[in-house]
Structures are given as structure tokens and as C-alpha cells.
């Protein structure tokens, strides 16, 4: 056929065609090694590589298509299942079994959240169920059985979060249905979810899960132990970089209970090192050496050992150095020389600077805390409003509270060797260690000065509680009166305002109780309301709230519950305290980018800045002022 076609083509062109084409000489027996005809190896290699590449691409495409097809199949299956539940729901809805219809529609939406018809019918079924007086026990039981089967499937499939949600829904329909099995699945699921949350550093979620277990099994020791560990670890994190002494105390308790818990070993070692560095920066080499030594005991790293040895050498050198004379510059102390009842005659170099207005607001003395960011230290000062000068009252301390009469001062002691609450006698400068826990805070005197209330989270569950103790107590524990914090005693002695909640942990705000913890009554309605301060006549309570987005000062009338907002500024306003005559409020404010004591005329709303307090507070909300004549 080939030649016939060629011949016909040639005839058309009128060209002579030989009957037979001559062979091409040398075509079959040409030397393969002749120049220009070498084997084309590179061509074969390239072809093979292309073939391999094509095969790889083919396999990948098949894999992607397989995954896609699998997802597509799963989506189709989910839509089919959703449609089946939707159809069953329609049947139950038509039969008037609204609870079963609700359960079916919810299952349909779990498998296909885009099924708009199921969402519409679900809303309709819920409305009809509400209108129905009471579903029959049979209907309720059928709905419970449906949810129970779903929960078991989720539980056995290790979908614990979904299992908990379905089980909670089941308990809402019928709390007694398979109660034992339901509670077993709930406690196991919550416990495991809590452990998972700890590993993932979701500590608030972990607390919620462990508390859910204890709500079902109050005597579950393992869960209580896990909850205590989370609380201790959280407390340490809250103090981290703010208070190394408090951090170390929390971590030491945790380390003693569970030395391998999360990163507690490394954190405790680091906390000791950071506190040692603070001491070294202040030239207190002996304490620095002790802290480095404690860090080495936890984790003996070579660098820490070297720092311990260097600090010990510096400590020895300091001990052997001659004592400076009283006239030398080294004699300038960081604590003021005290005169009668706390009147100081010398000031430290870091004294807060007064901001004296043309007409000074108010009379008397206001105690406040100054924070030094370089030294990471709180110190208590008092400003005399008639003179504008500030004097140091107590180093390494915060939260001052004058006793009525102004001759004693309760405070929170932050000295690492004397942590807890203390009472300073302003006449002879003697300090009594009242309590011994770093968590003890915000002391407040009774009007007769026979008792001091304070708040603490020292218990293993880390919940805040209000305690009462005698000012003559020595390193005592106090008597527990209520759950809550930031207590304030009214001047008539009959009421104590505090930040608290109801017995279920709800309805938080400012509450009022009688001494001893009886007759608690909620006074304000926002959960952020805190730091209450009684007016001298007991008719009003000033407090702090973040209900508008930042901390402002508010006032509530005790008789009518009527509230008014006293400050409105982008900066935080905290720590209100009343003037002795009840016409003014002093508070701390970060206005202008610098913290200061300010005074507010309650009637006019006029505000005056009295004295700058130093660097920004690590935790402004925990600060406290105290005003005496």
C-alpha cells in the first residue's frame, strides 16, 4: 500500500518512478563507533528520568485523588446520615414527640451543620416543647436513650469533649437515666480532659474540668491533688517577675508535692537565681550566695555554681571590710530616721516627689506604697497634706492601714525573711509579725482596734478567704469568716464590706456581712466590683470597678443601692480611701503616664494630684491607701 500510494502521487506529478528503489549503502553495517554515530546514553538516561518523574507525579495525583475522594465520600455519608436524622425528626415532630424531634434535629446538624431545614425545624420543635406542659416520661426516656447512645459512641471513640456535651444535655432531659454510667463517663472524661489541658498549658480549662469531677465525686483524692497542683503552679506564674519570694514559696510547695510536675524544677531554680541577682545588684552578697546555693541544690548547673562561689567570695570580702563611720556617704540609709510616732527626720534618696497644688487639698496624712522598678521593691511612705513632704515608714512593704488614732500601722511585709502581715508601732518603730503567709494581704482594723481582718489564698484550693485575728497575735493563722477578699470594716463596727460571691461562686461583686461572717448581703451587681471603702458615717461605700473597660471609682448608697460613677478617665483609678471628714476620697491614678496619689472632692468632682508615687505598680488593683487626721 505504501508504494502504491507513492506511485499514485508520482503519476499525478508526471515523474518517472523506478520499479525498485536501490538500497542505501552502508546503512545496515555502519560502524557504531564511527564519528558522529556514538551511542546516545544521555538520551536514554533523560528518558528514564522523565518516566520516573511521571510515575511519581502519577502516584501523587492518585493519592490526592484518593484523599479527596475519601473526604468526598465522608461528606456524602455525613449528609446521608443527617438526612436520615432529619427525616426521623420530622416524623417525631408530626407525632408530637417534641423532645425526640429536638434530639433528632440536633443529631442531623452535628453531621451536617449546613442543613438549614433541620435548624428551622429544631427551632420549631423547641418552641412547641416549651408550649407543651410536661413531656411524658416515655418521651423523655426515649430522648434520653437516644442521647445516651450518642454519648457512648463519642466516649468509646475518645471524642471526650463531645461526649461531655451530650452527657450534659442528657442530664438536662433526665438526670436519673443511667445515672451511674453517665457519672462514670463524665468523671473519667473530665479528668482526662483536665490532664490534657495541663499538658497544653490551658490551666483555666484544667481547673474547670477538675472542679467538674469534684462536683460529682467530692472525695476523689487524685482529682483534688491535681487541682491543688494547678493552683500552686498558677500562683507561682502570677507572682513570676513580680515577687520572687512569693514565687519561690509557691514553687517550693509544688516541688515538694510533685518535683516532676511540668517545668517546676527549672522554674524554681530560675526563681532562686533571679532573687540572688536582685540581692547581688543591691550589694547584699551574703544573701545572694545563699540564693545561688539553693538554686544549685535544685539543679547543679556549672554557671550557677560559679555564681554561688563568686557571691560567697564577695560576701566574705564584705564581712572583712571596715564598718563605715556615721559621717561617711555609706551611712545614708534607705529607711528614714524616725522621730516620735513615726515622724521622720531624714529621707531616702528615692523619696517620691510631691506635686503640690496652689491650694493643697485636704488635711491629715495619707499612707501609700511606692514601687521602685530597678530594685523591684515596694516601700510604704506617708505624705503630710499640710506640708507636702513624704517620709518613709516601712521598707519592703505594701498595703498600709492606719489603726484608728494613727499610732499603729498594719501592712503586708514583703521582706523575704518576714513574709506575712505585720504591725508597726509608729511611736517606737517596733514591728510585730502578725501572720506568716506570703498570701496574707489587705489588712483592715476594727474601730476598737481589737481585731484586724485580712484576706488570704493560703489554703490548698487557692480560694480567697476573709480572716480575722488579734493585733497582738504572733505569726498566727487567723479565724476564717467568709470566702472573699479586700475586706473593709465600717466605723460603727457592725459591718464588713468585701469582694465576694454567693455560695455557688456566682453573683460576685461587693458584699456586706456582719463580724464573724454572718448575714452576707450583696451590695453591688457587677462581678468586677472590688476594693470597697466605707464612708465615715457608714452611709456609702466607694469601690473600684472595670464595668466600663478600665478601672474607675464608683459610689453606692447603702440604703438605696443607688450607684454613681465618680471618675472617668482612660487611665486606671484604684485604691479609694475616705478623708476623715467624709468629704473627699484619695485614690491612686496612672493619669499622665505616671502614678500618683490624687484627691477627689466628692460633691464637686474636682480632682487634685498630690504626690507622685514612683514607678508603675506591677498590680495596681492590690494597692491600698490609708488616711488619718
Q: What is the pLDDT of residue 231?
A: 83
CB-based contacts of 30: which residues, under 8 Å, 6+ apart?
37
For 231-317, CATH number?
1.25.40
Three-state SS for 72-113 is HHHHHHHHHHHHHHHHHHHHHHHHCCHHHHHHHHHHHHHHCC
pLDDT of residue 374: 75
Q: How confident is the model at residue 333 (pLDDT cuts 50, 70, 90)?
A: very low
| Lookup result for grid cell 464595668 | 547
**Is the model's pLDDT at 134 over the cut of 70?**
no
The β-bridge partners of 585 are: 578, 600
State pLDDT tens for residues 383-426: 988 877 788 899 999 999 999 988 999 999 998 888 999 999 99
Check for a shared fold between 231-317 and 352-628. Answer: no
Q: At a CB cut-off of 8 Å and minimum separation 6, what does 168 contact?
A: 186
Number of other residues whose CB lies within 10 A of the CB of residue 224: 17
The string of pLDDT tens digits covering residues 274-317 is: 988 988 888 888 888 888 998 898 888 888 898 998 888 888 87
Mean pLDDT, the chain, integer: 82
The region of weakest confidence among 330-344, 355-369, 483-497 is 330-344
Residue bearing cell 420543635 = 125
Cell of 108: 442531623
- Indicate the range of 46-55, 98-107, 323-332, 426-435 predicted with least confidence: 323-332
Q: Is domain 352-628 classified as CATH 2.120.10.30?
A: yes
What is the rounded distance in angstroms from the CA atom of residue 149 to the CA atom of residue 163?
10
Helices 203-216 and 179-199, axial angle in degrees (round to 10) = 160
Average pLDDT over residues 520-536: 95
Question: 253-264 pLDDT, tens per residue?
Answer: 788 778 889 998
Mean pLDDT of all residues in 560-586: 94
Q: How far apart are CA 98 and CA 101, in angstroms?
A: 5
Distance from C-alpha of 423 to C-alpha of 443, rounded to nearest angstrom: 10
- Per-residue pLDDT averaged across 157-179, rounded? 87
Assess contact for 187 and 220: CB atoms under 8 A: yes
* Alpha-carbon span 175 to 165, nearest angstrom: 14
Residue with more model confidence, 361 or 343: 361
pLDDT at 357: 45
607 SS3 class: strand
Dihedral sign for Cα 19, 22, 28, 32, please. negative
Between residues 523 and 10, the one the model is more confident about: 523
- Where does the pLDDT of residue 320 fall: very low under 50, low under 70, confident under 90, or very high at 90 and above? low
> The pTM is what?
0.49
What H or E segment, with its residue span, contains residue 512? strand 509-513
Q: Which three cell numbers stand for residue 351?
A: 523619696
Q: How many CB atoms lie within 10 A of CB 29?
A: 6
Please tell me the distance from the alpha carbon of residue 212 to that of residue 228, in angstroms, as a whole number.
14
C-alpha to C-alpha distance for 158 and 148, rounded to whole angstroms: 15
- Nearest partner of 453 among 470, 438, 437, 472, judged by Cα: 470
Which 8-state DSSP code applies to residue 530? E
Helices (H), 178-284: 179-199, 203-216, 221-239, 244-257, 264-281
* DSSP code for 325: P
User: Quick check: 623 and 397 in contact, CB under 8 A?
Assistant: no
Cα dist from 564 to 88, 193, 545, 590, 605, whole Å: 56, 44, 11, 21, 12
Q: What residue ranges do the domains of the chain occupy?
A: 56-230, 231-317, 352-628
Residue 544, SS3 per DSSP: strand
The confidence score (pLDDT) of residue 382 equals 92
Of 76-80, 318-322, 522-526, least confident by mean pLDDT is 318-322
Q: Do 578 and 627 touch, CB atoms closer than 8 A?
A: yes
CA distance 266 to 305: 15
Q: What is the pLDDT of residues 12-40, one digit of tens each?
A: 444 454 444 455 444 444 444 444 444 55
Which pLDDT score, from 0 to 100, does residue 287 have? 85
Cell numbers linked to 628: 488619718
Q: Which residues fall within 8 angstroms of residue 269, CB to CB, at 6 or more apart? A: 295, 298, 299, 301, 304
pLDDT tens digits along 37-62: 445 566 666 677 677 677 766 666 66
Q: What angle do CA 383, 415, 296 make, to 5 degrees?
A: 150
Amino acid at each position: 500500500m505504501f508504494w502504491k500510494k507513492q506511485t499514485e502521487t508520482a503519476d499525478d506529478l508526471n515523474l518517472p518512478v523506478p520499479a525498485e528503489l536501490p538500497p542505501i549503502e552502508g546503512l545496515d553495517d555502519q560502524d557504531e563507533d564511527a564519528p558522529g554515530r556514538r551511542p546516545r546514553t544521555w538520551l536514554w538516561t533523560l528518558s528514564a528520568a522523565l518516566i520516573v518523574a511521571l510515575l511519581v507525579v502519577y502516584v501523587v495525583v492518585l493519592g490526592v485523588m484518593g484523599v479527596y475522594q475519601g473526604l468526598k465520600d465522608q461528606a456524602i455519608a455525613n449528609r446521608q446520615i443527617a438526612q436520615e436524622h432529619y427525616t426521623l425528626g420530622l416524623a417525631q415532630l408530626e407525632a408530637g414527640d417534641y423532645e425526640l424531634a429536638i434530639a433528632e434535629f440536633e443529631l442531623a446538624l452535628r453531621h451536617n451543620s449546613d442543613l438549614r431545614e433541620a435548624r428551622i425545624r429544631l427551632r420549631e420543635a423547641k418552641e412547641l416543647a416549651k408550649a407543651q406542659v410536661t413531656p411524658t416520661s416515655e418521651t423523655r426516656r426515649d430522648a434520653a436513650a437516644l442521647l445516651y447512645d450518642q454519648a457512648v459512641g463519642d466516649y468509646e471513640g475518645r471524642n471526650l469533649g463531645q461526649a461531655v456535651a451530650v452527657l450534659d444535655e442528657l442530664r438536662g432531659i433526665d438526670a436519673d437515666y443511667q445515672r451511674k454510667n453517665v457519672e462514670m463517663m463524665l468523671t473519667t472524661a473530665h479528668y482526662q480532659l483536665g490532664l490534657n489541658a495541663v499538658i497544653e498549658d490551658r490551666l483555666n480549662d484544667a481547673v474547670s474540668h477538675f472542679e467538674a469531677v469534684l462536683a460529682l465525686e467530692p472525695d476523689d483524692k487524685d482529682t483534688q491533688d491535681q487541682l491543688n497542683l494547678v493552683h500552686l503552679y498558677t500562683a507561682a506564674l502570677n507572682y513570676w517577675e513580680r515577687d520572687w519570694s512569693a514565687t519561690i514559696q509557691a514553687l517550693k510547695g509544688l516541688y515538694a508535692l510533685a518535683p516532676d510536675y511540668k517545668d517546676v524544677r527549672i522554674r524554681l531554680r530560675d526563681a532562686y537565681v533571679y532573687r540572688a541577682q536582685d540581692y547581688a545588684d543591691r550589694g547584699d552578697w551574703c544573701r545572694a550566695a545563699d540564693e545561688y546555693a539553693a538554686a544549685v541544690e535544685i539543679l547543679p548547673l556549672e554557671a550557677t555554681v560559679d555564681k554561688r562561689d563568686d557571691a560567697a567570695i564577695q560576701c566574705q570580702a564584705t564581712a572583712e571590710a571596715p564598718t563605715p563611720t556615721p559621717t561617711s556617704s555609706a551611712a545614708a540609709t534607705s529607711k528614714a530616721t524616725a522621730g516620735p510616732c513615726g515622724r521622720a527626720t531624714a529621707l531616702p534618696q528615692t523619696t517620691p516627689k510631691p506635686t503640690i497644688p496652689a491650694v493643697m487639698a485636704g488635711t491629715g496624712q495619707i499612707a501609700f506604697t511606692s514601687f521602685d522598678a530597678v530594685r523591684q521593691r515596694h516601700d510604704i511612705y506617708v505624705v503630710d497634706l499640710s506640708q507636702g513632704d513624704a517620709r518613709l515608714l516601712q521598707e519592703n512593704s505594701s498595703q498600709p492601714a492606719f489603726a484608728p488614732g494613727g499610732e499603729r500601722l498594719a501592712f503586708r511585709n514583703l521582706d523575704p525573711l518576714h513574709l506575712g502581715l505585720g504591725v508597726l508601732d509608729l511611736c517606737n518603730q517596733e514591728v510585730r509579725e502578725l501572720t506568716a503567709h506570703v498570701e496574707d494581704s489587705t489588712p483592715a482594723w476594727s474601730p476598737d482596734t481589737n481585731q484586724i481582718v485580712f484576706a488570704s489564698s493560703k489554703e490548698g484550693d487557692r480560694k480567697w478567704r476573709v480572716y480575722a485575728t488579734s493585733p497582738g497575735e504572733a505569726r498566727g493563722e487567723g479565724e476564717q469568716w467568709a470566702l472573699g477578699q479586700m475586706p473593709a470594716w465600717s466605723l460603727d463596727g457592725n459591718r464588713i464590706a468585701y469582694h465576694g460571691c454567693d455560695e455557688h461562686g456566682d453573683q460576685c461583686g461587693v458584699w456586706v456581712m456582719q463580724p464573724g461572717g454572718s448575714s452576707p448581703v450583696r451590695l453591688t451587681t457587677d462581678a468586677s466590683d472590688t476594693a470597697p471603702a466605707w464612708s465615715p458615717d457608714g452611709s456609702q461605700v466607694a469601690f473600684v470597678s472595670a464595668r466600663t473597660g478600665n478601672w474607675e471609682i464608683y459610689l453606692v448608697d447603702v440604703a438605696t443601692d443607688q450607684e454613681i460613677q465618680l471618675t472617668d478617665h482612660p487611665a486606671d483609678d484604684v485604691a479609694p480611701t475616705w478623708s476623715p471628714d467624709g468629704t473627699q476620697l484619695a485614690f491612686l491614678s496612672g493619669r499622665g503616664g505616671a502614678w500618683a496619689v490624687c484627691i477627689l472632692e466628692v460633691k464637686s468632682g474636682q480632682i487634685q494630684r498630690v504626690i507622685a508615687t514612683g514607678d508603675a505598680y506591677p498590680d495596681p488593683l492590690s494597692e491600698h491607701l490609708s488616711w488619718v487626721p
